[in-house]
């Protein structure tokens, strides 16, 4: 399996922020977030969020999407992104 380096992603439940460190600026400990290799995490941009909203509305009848959403490229034959919300 190809990796792009050490997979380090943490999340502060108090601030609802993704972090690269184990402690948030608020002083709370951040929990580690599991990320599927190769670990190409990026923020969800406007078009990504629109697509998520459409799919969630169609599948679940609701489309609440938090302000902070991350996407991670995951291995697949076609394009596949792992969606990370609330850590």
* Residue pLDDT, tens place only, 4-60: 567 789 999 999 999 999 999 999 999 999 988 888 899 999 999 999 999 999 999
Cα distance between residue 10 and residue 42, in whole Å? 14
The label of the residue with tokens 């922020």 reads: 17
DSSP secondary structure code for residue 28 in this structure: P
| 41 bridge partner residues | 72
**Residue 17 φ/ψ, nearest 5 degrees:** -125, 140
Model confidence at 72, pLDDT cuts 50, 70, 90, reads very high
Q: What's the pTM value of the predicted model, to 2 decimals?
A: 0.81
Domain-wise residue ranges, the chain: 10-85
């Amino acid at each position: 399996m190809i990796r792009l380096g050490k997979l380090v992603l943490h999340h502060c439940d108090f601030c609802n922020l993704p972090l690269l460190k184990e402690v948030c600026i608020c002083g709370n400990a951040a929990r580690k977030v599991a990320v599927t290799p190769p670990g190409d995490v990026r923020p969800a941009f406007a078009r990504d969020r629109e697509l998520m909203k459409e799919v969630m509305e169609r599948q679940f009848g609701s489309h609440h999407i938090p302000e902070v959403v991350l996407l991670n490229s995951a291995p697949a034959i076609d394009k596949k992104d792992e969606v990370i919300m609330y850590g």
